[in-house]
Structure 1
């Protein structure tokens, strides 16, 4: 039983670390980039100021990438600890 508890604790520690990492990245793109928009506007992408581009498009793109990256990383953690949802089991 101690092995199951330690396995559960290790799984939770990895999941918690991944969640904290994702939240930190989300915070950067949701708030920090926008706080520094005036300074970012000194640079341009395709003729648009970088601050405007990050607020209008870049952050949204980053959020979508974060979602897919988080799902893939969490699935790897789940597989490592033997708790992954496997679609092949339904057959």
Structure 2
């Protein structure tokens, strides 16, 4: 595998990870906070409706978790393609 092929494969996987993680974040923030809020509002957490919670807090928590997931995935990818330190 040439250096260019290796770099192309690396970025292809990286973009795949980014698109998947952004899709998850979109589904949580837009889907749970706006589209499915009426169904989620039937469930309460800590006295607050779940749809409201996702719109106010949940999407931020998921975003922070996705950052850590991305870091872990990229560390593995770096090691696989020899770009680790």
Same-fold status (TM-score > 0.5): yes
Q: How far apart in 2 are the matches of 1:78 and 1:54? A: 33
Question: What is residue 50 of structure 2 aligned with on the other side?
Answer: 50
Taking the TM superposition and a 5 Å limit, the aligned residue runs for 1:1-91 are 3-35=2-34, 36-84=36-84, 86=85
In the alignment, structure 2 segments of 5+ residues that lack a partner are none
Rg (Cα) greater in structure = 1
Offset of residue 20 of structure 1: 0.8
Root mean square deviation, CA, Å: 1.4
TM-score by length of 1: 0.82
Offset of residue 47 of structure 1: 2.1
Off by >4 Å, runs of 4+ in structure 1: none
Q: How far apart in 2 are the matches of 1:48 and 1:74? A: 36
TM-score by length of 2: 0.87
Q: How far apart in 1 are the matches of 2:3 and 2:59? A: 40
Cα deviations by residue, 1:35-68 (Å, 9 ceiling, x for unpaired): 2212210111122111111112211111110111
